[in-house]
Amino acid sequence: MHNPSDGDVEDDKAELMIPCFRRNMYDEPLTSYSNGSIISHLLRKTVQNKRALDESHFYLPTSAVSSSTMADSSQEDQSSVSSKDSVAEFASPGSHLSNGASPEGDRPLSDHLQAKRARVENIIRGMAGSPNSRLHGDSERAVSDTREAREAYRENKRKQRLPQHQEHSLNAAAPANRGSSSSSGSSSKDEECHKLKEQLQSMQRLLRQLQEKFLQVYNQEDTEHEDRDGTGTASTAKHDDTTPSKESGFRKNMDEELERKHDRAKGDCKDRVKKDRSFLTHQKEGKNLQETLKHELSKAVSESVDMVFKKLSSTGLNQLSYQRMCHTPENIDVGVERKSQVACNQEQSHTEEPVKPQALEYYESTEPCSPEDQTEALSLVVRKPLLSQLSSVTPTVKRPYPLHHSPFQFNYSTPLHDSQILEHLLKYGPHTNFGGLPCVPPSMDRTSPDSVELPWDAIAMRSKVTSSHLTHHPRTSGLGPVTVDSLCLPHVKMECGDMQSLAERNSYMSLNIQEGLTPNHLKKAKLMFFYTRYPSSNVLKTFFPDVKFNRCITSQLIKWFSNFREFYYIQMEKFARQAIVDGVNDVKGMSISRDSELFRALNMHYNKANDFQVPERFLEVAEITLQEFFNAISTAKDSDPSWKKAIYKVICKLDSDVPDEFKSSTCL
DNA sequence: GAGGTCCCTG
DNA sequence: CAGGGACCTC
C-alpha cells in the first residue's frame, strides 16, 4: 500500500509522521473493536496525505482541520488509492469552509511550511484537546461499517482526540449522548467531561515534559546509534505487549506515538536539541536518564489511563451497569446481603452523582447497607432464613455455603426462623428423633431436596445451647462455631419445653422396655467414639442409661468399641504405610484435616450420615495415631508381633470426656 | 477367674 | 458387626 509513495517519503518525514501518529494515538485502537475496514481506510489515508503534502497541492488551514463538517459524497470513494481521491479528500473540507481552499496548485511553497507548522500545532493542541467532540463523534461509529469508515475519516480530520478506549467506554456507557459533537448531554455529563479534560490535560502536560527530556536523551545518543529508534520502538512495543489488559493497546500506541513524536520533534526542534546535546556529555548518565525517563513516561501514561478509566467508571457507564445489575440480581452469585445491597444501590442510583465506581464496589464492599437495612428491605419470608444464615453463621467469612453440606454449622446465636422450625417439625415430626439417638435414624427420610436436611431436633438445638461441655471442647470447626456437642438431642429435651417433654416421654416409652441395644445405640456409640476410644464399663453405663445392663449387653457394647478401634487402627496403619510408600519422609507431613482422605474414611464409618460435627480433638488424636503408626513402620518396629500395643498405649491416654449431652436418657 | 483386648473369621 | 479363641492383667 505504501508503494505509490515509497520514493518520496524522506523529505516530509516530520509531517508524514503526524497522521501516523494520530492514528496510532487515537484511531488504531478502534481497529481492535472489530473494524478492519477502518484500518485499511486509514492506511490509505496515510498514503494520500503523504502524496498530498509532497505534491504541495494545497494548504489545509487549521480552521479547516478543526472542522468536522464534510461532504459525505466526497468520502464515499475513499477506498481507491489515487491522487484524485486524495485531492477530493482534502479539497472537500476546504470547499465547505468559508475560506474555500483551492484544490490545485495555487498554493505557494512557503505555505507548505506553514501547513507543517499548523499541523504540528494541531497535534499538540489535539493532545490537550477536549474529549467532548471525540466522545460524541466516535459514538457514531457503532452504527455501521460504512458509517464508521466515514466517521473515522472525519475523525482523522479533527484535532481533538481522546484515547480510543476511553471513548469506547463512554460509548457503551452513554449511548444517549450519541450525536454530533456540538450536542451536549446533561450538565453533569459536561462537568464530568470537563473534569476529565482537565485531568487529561494535566497528564498530557506531564507527558510532554517527560517527552522533551526523553528527546534530549535520545538525540544525544542519536549520533552514535542511528538505528536505535527502530529497536527502541520495537522494544517498547514488545514490553507493552506483555500487558494483557485492554490498556496495553493504548499504551503501546501511546509509546509508539511518542516515539514518532520524538522523530517529528527531531525534525522540528533541531536547534533546541543541539543546545541540549552540549549539556549531555556523559553517555552513561544519559543512558540512566533515558531508562528513568522511559520508566517515568510509561508510568505516567499508565497512570493517566488509570485515572481516566477510573473517572469514566464513575460516570454513566456504571450508573447503567449497576442499574442493570439491580434489575437482574439473580444473574449474580448473590447472597441476601448482596441483594439487599442492590436495594441500597438502587436507592443511591436515584442520586445524580455516584461518588465511587459502584460497579466495582458492588462486589467488593458490603458496607453500604447495614444488616438492619437488609432485614427491612427483605420482607420475603423465604429470604430471611438465608439472610440469617449468611450473616450469622460466619460473620467474617462471607461465604455462603449450601446448608446441606454442613447442616450443623450454625451459630449458637443464630435465631432460628419460625418457619424453618415449623417446616421441619411438620416434615419430620418430633417423634422421629426424640425417641432415639441424637442422630438421625437410618430409616429417616433424608432425601429431601430442601437445603435444610438436618433433622428438626438438630435445628431446634441450634437456637439454644446449654453447654457445659463447651468448656470442655472449646475448639470448633473452622467452618462454624457449632461443635458436635450442640448436635445432641438432649439440648432439645432440656430446653424445648413441652415438645421436648413429649419427646422424652416418647423416648422412655419406646426404649425403656427394650433390653437389647438398638441401631440408635450403635450410632450413639459410634459418635461417642469420636471422644473416647477406650470407654470403661462405667462410662458405658453412664452414657447408656436407658440400657438394662447385663453381662451380655456390656460385652456387646465393649465389643462395639473394640470393633471401632479395630477399624480405626486398620485405617491408620493403612494410611501410614501408604504415606511411606508415597515417599513421605517426615512425620510432620502426616497431618489430618477434614479434607483428608483418612478423615473421610473415618467419618464415613462413624458418622455415615455426616450429620455430626466431628470434634477437632478427634482430628488431633487421629493425627497423633497416624504419626505413631508412621514412626513405628518407618523404624521397622512393625516386625515385632506386638508392635501395635505401644501405639494403643499412647492412644488410650488421649481419650476425652464424652459430652454430658450423651448422658441424657433422651439420647437413648 | 473375671474382665478386657487383640486377632481372625464369617 | 458378631463370634470366638488366645492372651494379658489384676
Residues contacting A495, CB < 8 A, separation 6+: A464, A466
Residue A665 Cβ < 7 Å to strand C: no
Give the pLDDT confidence score for residue A113 in this predicted structure: 54
Which nucleotide is closest to A643, CA to C1'? B6
Angle, helix A145-157 to helix A131-138, in steps of 10 degrees: 160
Residue A494 Cβ < 7 Å to strand C: no
pTM for the predicted model, two decimal places: 0.33
Give the pLDDT confidence score for residue A345 in this predicted structure: 37
- Taking alpha carbons only, the member of A210, A427, A370, A429 closest to residue A302 is A210
CB A409 within 8 A of CB A594: no
Angle, helix A13-22 to helix A36-54, in steps of 10 degrees: 160
Q: Which of residues 502-521 of A touch strand C (CB under 7 A)?
A: 517
Task: State how far the alpha carbon of A243 is from the alpha carbons of A163, A246, A248, A249, A502, in Å.
Answer: 17, 8, 5, 9, 69
Length of chain A in residues, anyone?
Answer: 668
Which residue segments constitute the domains of chain A, with CATH numbers given?
Answer: 519-663 (1.10.10.500)
Give the pLDDT confidence score for residue A490 in this predicted structure: 31
Give the pLDDT confidence score for residue A82 in this predicted structure: 33
Report the nearest residue to nucleotide C8, CA vs C1': A645
Give the pLDDT confidence score for residue A140 in this predicted structure: 34
Give the pLDDT confidence score for residue A547 in this predicted structure: 82
Which nucleotide is closest to A605, CA to C1'? C1
Give the pLDDT confidence score for residue A291 in this predicted structure: 59
Residue A522 Cβ < 7 Å to strand C: yes
pLDDT digits (tens, 9 = 90+) for A276-299: 444 444 454 455 556 555 655 565
- Strand C: list positions under 7 Å from protein Cβ: 1-4
Which nucleotide is closest to A567, CA to C1'? C1
**What is the secondary structure of A350-387 as a DSSP string?**
TSS---S-HHHHHHH---SS-HHHHHHH---TTHHHHH
Question: Quick one: how far is CA A312 from the chain centroid?
Answer: 20
What single letter denotes the amino acid at residue A496? C
pLDDT under 70: residue ranges of chain A: 1-197, 200, 202-203, 206-207, 210-515, 665-668
Give the pLDDT confidence score for residue A191 in this predicted structure: 62
Q: What's the distance, Cα to Cα, between the start and end of chain A in Å? A: 92
Which nucleotide is closest to A562, CA to C1'? B5
Which nucleotide is closest to A526, CA to C1'? C1
Residues packed against strand B, CB within 7 Å: A 534, 536-537, 551, 554, 558, 561-562, 565-566, 569, 642, 644-645, 648
